[in-house]
Amino acid sequence: MNNVLFAPIMLLAGIGIPIMAAGNALLGAKLGSPASAAAIMFALALLVALAVAWATGGPQRPLLGAAPWPYYLGGLVIAFYLLSITYLGPKLGIGTAVLLVLLGQIAAAATIDHFGLLGAPRTPLTAIRALGLVMMAGGVLLARRI
């Protein structure tokens, strides 16, 4: 896949986050259970992921135990995110909730890049980069006037 396609794909993924948050919040309210809405979303996501895995040749190793346990923490993180946004999104407002998530992502991404954590390429936090991150965070805060 050409690198030129990566940015639009990630942009679409970003567009999907607030849509997912709002939709799951509505489903949680309709069901009377944010956790049930999250479970339905995870079941659908599992079916799609399994279909894509099957269509692309499946895993080359056993699904569990092929990697150290920290590599599996992403599942816990996404569960925390989805349960949080489904429960708190309607209380804070989807925009505010997603923008607070974005602030967390900016801080975590800068830390991961600076130290080269989790196998990411090391990208030191220079003064210019730090200023850009502060400006992004400021823009997020101004957009919601938190």
Task: Tell me how many domains the chain contains.
Answer: 1
Q: Which pLDDT score, from 0 to 100, does residue 1 have?
A: 57
Please give the residue range of the domain that contains residue 106: 3-144
Digit-by-digit pLDDT tens for the chain (146 residues) are: 577 888 888 888 888 888 999 999 999 999 999 999 999 999 999 999 999 988 998 877 777 778 888 888 888 999 999 999 999 988 988 888 888 888 888 889 999 999 999 888 999 999 998 998 889 888 877 877 75
Q: Which pLDDT score, from 0 to 100, does residue 3 have?
A: 76
Residue-wise burial string across 1-12, b where 16 or more C-beta atoms lie within 10 A, e elsewhere: eeeeeeeeeeee
Provide the whole-model pTM.
0.76
